[in-house]
Amino acid sequence: MAKKDYTQLAQDIVANVGGKENVNSLLHCATRLRFRLKDPSKANKEVLEDLPKVLTAVSAGGQYQVVIGDEVVPVFESIMNQYHFSAGDSGTKSGIASDDDHSDGEKKKENWFEKFVSVLSGIFTPFISVLAGAGVLKGVAILISSLHLLPESSPIYIILNALASGVFTLLPIFIAITAADKFNTNRFIAVALAAAMIYPLTDNTIPNIAHLGDYGINFKTYGGAVIPTILAIWLESYIERWFKNHLPAVAQLVFVPFLTLIVAGILTFVVIGPLGTALGTGLAYGYSFLYGLSPLIAGAILGGAFQVFVIFGLHWGILPISLINIQTYGYDTLLAVMFCAVAGQFGAVTASIFKAKKVKNKEIAASAAISGFFGITEPALYGINLKYKKGFIFGLIGGAVGGGIVGTAGVKCFQYTPIMNVFEMPLFIGKNSSIVWAAIAGIVAFLLSFILVLLLGFNESNTEKLFAKVTSGKKSLTEQKTAKLEKSMDSKETTTSDTIVEPEIDTTGLSLSDTIFSPLSGRAVPLKSVNDPVFSSEAMGKGLGIEPSSNQVVSPVDGEIIVAYPTGHAYGIKSENGVEVLIHIGINTVELNGKHFEPKVENGQKVRKGDLLATFDRDEIKNAGYDTTTMVIVTNTNEYEAIVPELDGKNSGEEILKVYKK
């Protein structure tokens, strides 16, 4: 199979986040490109969302997130191969921040929570796939042990368990690598400090607690430590920079790491480590207390709300609690709730496969359902559920009910994983837990969402995203169109509540270059009123729309066919006078793949005004859920001084556009 080329997509994405000069750094997670931009206002959300493979673009948690879905890794690699962005905040290859890096507008606008989420996501997302893979391995090891397939002394079992557990025991090493990038410090000094935190676990001669006077220092508490490690590397970054600024260059190679490790190491074991442990334990106790007040209510609220956090990329502010819970108690309850939240959205998008009328939506739903099965919900969210609102809401309902079930049943997870799917279910096996109730809750969440969408649909005619205004900081498309209509009414450019009248165009001093005739019978409407932002914005050129009353399209000029789409839905004609005319039958009808269209001409064919270009079945196209409004556009508009539409009701062959030049 030929390897896909993502070069052009990578270039388009970078261009529309403000260009390479606007990018401080770039990371990716399972589905998203996570940009740190100098000026987020330079990003073009609308154009980004029109790009192939891009599901949506969201500004949240101090990052500009471009949601790709399953193909995020090759897109990320293509961008990095071309632009070599930093994984840190500075945008420099060295990862060391310059003075300019700390003055960008975005950072000034961030509140403490955005900074907190940005730090956590920047630390954990680079190795999210390893954590997920290790979680599956741990599930396999638990199954082998529970079903007594192999004795725990078996070399095979020991190897599998080591592969699954090693990453979590040595988690401070992984955190040190990415935290060093995040805090702009030397990776290897950071790793050395993290290794020192873990080392006591490997030496039986080191006591658990040793006393410095009356002060007890716990040496064997940092296996899998999250907050202590993050705080330690944060502190180490300042210490390292201080020594770099005060030591002569000739001495820095040896003495910067030497002195940094001494100072940062002592402070970590004596102050920062215990403080981080106390903070983590406090979070675990606080979560456990609140969850324990009513596991049913807590599970339902978290199950219903979790995917909302995912939309904004804020789930990284919550998921570390699971790691801390496992480190503190040996188990966690949040991951069981997350499993149900995922199952809810998975059920909703799976039902959408059967309810979708548009071919493209069926394809998107099928692809997103596969991702949902493996625990990745962003393609489902942005491709179908969130886009059409109802599926997302039904998914939340399913997640809430499933969350209430696992909460009431006391389901626990005994190993951390950032991605929850059926392959992780063995992680629910353990003392005072039940994989059976976890399975029941997941099935209920899936089926409830599935049935609701199957019975009530997912509102496919709606094109507004539920969180469009919140996530973009801009008015949604409907709001923009409404505001434009109200403005035109106020300026008396409209004569009725549903008719837009184009302002008169002064053609004094201009000469008529060509006349375009109507290619089909129907009601002519202003191009700005058609329900497609690409056409209505006149990005393709000026023209008008026709709501057809016939099933035949004829040539509007004498000329040559320069584009005849094999799907039969669109034709480009160059008139004998040089005007290039696009006739596009319906909105998004390319998704029909030629169904209900019968083309009558080919590329390069000469045509006369009135020659038949195609026939189509407008009733069947409408029944398939598509708008049949046909656009007639002068695509080389920029070469002319004025394009004047005639908006009276038109029959085939009547004048509809006049093209003027000086």
Q: Which residues are catalytic?
A: 29
- Three-state SS string across 216-249, please? EEECCCCCCCCHHHHHHHHHHHHHHHHHHHHCCH
Handedness of CA 159, 161, 162, 167 (dihedral sign): positive
Measure CA 603 to chain center. 39
What does the alpha-carbon distance between residue 91 and residue 84 come to, in Å, rounded to a whole number?
Answer: 9
- In 3D space, the residue among 232, 243, 226 whose CA is nearest the CA of residue 192 turns out to be 232
What does the alpha-carbon distance between residue 512 and residue 496 come to, in Å, rounded to a whole number?
Answer: 31
- Complete edge-to-edge strand list for the sheet that includes strand 23-28: 23-28, 32-37, 63-67, 56-60
- Find out whether 394 and 402 touch, Cβ atoms under 8 Å: no
Instruction: Establish how many alpha carbons lie within 13 A of residue 17's alpha carbon, considering only the half-sphere containing its beta carbon.
Output: 29
Residue 320 structure tokens = 């570390």
Read off the amino acid at residue 517.
Answer: F
What does the alpha-carbon distance between residue 20 and residue 165 come to, in Å, rounded to a whole number?
Answer: 40
Measure CA 371 to chain center. 13
Crossing angle, helix 7-15 and helix 72-83, to 10 degrees? 70
What does the alpha-carbon distance between residue 59 and residue 73 come to, in Å, rounded to a whole number?
Answer: 20
What does the alpha-carbon distance between residue 265 and residue 270 come to, in Å, rounded to a whole number?
Answer: 8
Who contacts 651 (Cβ-Cβ below 8 Å, separation ≥6)?
A: 518, 521
- Find out whether 116 and 316 touch, Cβ atoms under 8 Å: no
Which element (helix H / strand E) includes 447?
helix 435-456
- The neighbouring-strand residues paired with 57 are 66
- In 3D space, the residue among 457, 322, 491 whose CA is nearest the CA of residue 389 turns out to be 457
Residue 240 structure tokens = 């390292």
- In 3D space, the residue among 111, 106, 84 whose CA is nearest the CA of residue 95 turns out to be 84
Instruction: Establish how many alpha carbons lie within 13 A of residue 234's alpha carbon, considering only the half-sphere containing its beta carbon.
Output: 13
Phi and psi at residue 534, in whole multiples of 5°?
-70, -45
